[in-house]
Chains A and B, each alone.
Chain A
Amino acid sequence: EVQLVESGGGLVQPGGSLRLSCAASGFTVSNNHMSWVRQAPGKGLEWVSIVYSGGSTYYADSVKGRFTISRDNSKNTLNLQMNSLRAEDTAVYYCARGANSGTYLAPGSWGQGTLVTVSS
């Protein structure tokens, strides 16, 4: 069974850093297209970043230069390193596997999310 479990969320001060992880089971992260999507409280979904199975990475303009997506093949996890955090980064962060068992780029399977709150 495919499962995605995010962790690492919490309260952080503006300008601080946080590292999110997404533990995958039932498939190999490095063989799949994997994304991060976030949702601010009461707002819609916002695409954040993607890592292709081949390793290419892309970012939304709102996080480019501050966030880094990566994979830890030894732990079968997807990570999101978030630096220079701002109040507007406050959101539930979801990791997602590409649709059609990771072969499509659009999100398919979703985790339950982890809440990041940026506040002093």
Chain B
Amino acid sequence: QTVVTQEPSFSVSPGGTVTLTCGLSSGSVSTTNYPSWYQQTPGQAPRTLFYNTNTRSSGVPDRFSGSILGNKAALTITGAQADDESDYYCVLYMGSGIWVFGGGTKLTVL
């Protein structure tokens, strides 16, 4: 069974740039996996950042960007701010109607 992989944790300095990735345990991520990205803070519902690889959801600042980098989907934050400290999840379409979330990345801004 294919697993969606994300870095368990990442740290970035305020004002810095960080790229979180979303891969597959077997194979490469492409646009046909329709990668989407979500931000979640403790006790809150997820917030949609991107869908269909790089389509920004309403209200998401343009310092966030979505892309395919090599064989993975990527979420890049440029000019990180303190309130970007959150859990970030990706989800991929695996075909046959099935979606699979990654395990999430806990981002620390310090």
Interface string of B67-110 (1 = CB under 8 A from A): 00000000000000000000101010100111111111000000
Contact B96 A99 (CB under 8 A): no
Min C-beta distance of A42 to chain B, whole Å: 10
Question: CA–CA, A108 to B60, complex, Å?
Answer: 13
Interface string of B40-59 (1 = CB under 8 A from A): 10000111100110010100
Question: CA–CA, A104 to B48, complex, Å?
Answer: 13
Chief secondary structure at chain B's binding surface: strand
Interface range, B side: 20 to 34
Please give, as numbers and ranges, the residues of chain B lying within 8 Å of A100 by CB-CB distance: 51-52, 55
Interface string of A79-105 (1 = CB under 8 A from B): 000000000000000100001100011
B36 at the binding interface (Cβ < 8 Å): yes
Which of B's residues lie within 8 Å of A, judged by CB?
A: 1, 34, 36, 38, 40, 45-48, 51-52, 55, 57, 87, 89, 91, 93, 96-104
